[in-house]
Amino acid sequence: MGSAAQKMCKLDVKELLKILNQAYAEEWLAYYQYWIGSQIIAGPMRPLVQDEFMEHAKEELGHAQLLADRIIQLGGTPLLAPSEWLQKAHCGYEVPRDESTMALLKQNLDSERCAIARYQQICEFCFGKDYETFNISLKIMHDELEHEQDWEDFIRDLKDGARFYKEKI
């Protein structure tokens, strides 16, 4: 717990901790969604997407770490049980029932868009009132924007590839 951290924060710390724990839950779910996706994926560009899924998984875990650090600094406790992740998360977990490349890409694209909205919300909540949480959220949002673009690019390439083969065959 950081006493100065709490004094500096000109927000309702309880409300802020609630939101940070929601984001924390979402990061763990995002981590698992990528991790399990990279295990089961089947279809075009599998090795490339697999690597990118694992890389994103690592980054989502890094986000969970940043959030846990900040929650503790503000005197809170990161959610202690995985069963709470699904209860608290607003960006839900998308069960990858369809293991095809395109289906997984679309699920993860949706999840990234939800994550972007989440960090935009936290940035707006903290703007001018809690510089440190603002800064952390901005950093995470930067990564989520990159993640979104990765999937948009992959989806575009996959569609282009499908069109190309249709013309050739």
Stretch that binds Fe ion, among 85-93, 127-135, 136-144, 149-157 (CB under 5 A): 136-144
Binding-site partner at residue 26 among Fe ion, Mg ion, none, CB < 5 to 8 Å by type? none
Among 126, 147, 150, 154, binds Fe ion (CB under 5 A): 147
Binding region for Mg ion (CB under 5 A): 150
- Is residue 118 within the footprint of Fe ion (CB under 5 A)? no
Q: Which is nearer to Fe ion, 17 or 116 (CB)?
A: 116
Q: Which residues pair with 105 in a beta bridge?
A: none
Is residue 60 within the footprint of Fe ion (CB under 5 A)? yes
Q: Which does 60 bind (CB under 5 to 8 A by kind): Mg ion, Fe ion, none?
A: Fe ion
Residue 63 sits in the site that holds Fe ion (CB under 5 A):
yes
Other Cβ atoms within 10 Å of 138 Cβ, number: 15
Shortest Å, Cβ 114 to Fe ion: 10
In angstroms, the CA 23 to CA 25 distance is 5
Distances (CA, A) of 78 to 17, 74, 85, 94, 134: 9, 11, 10, 22, 18
Binding site for Fe ion (CB under 5 A): 27, 60, 63, 144, 147
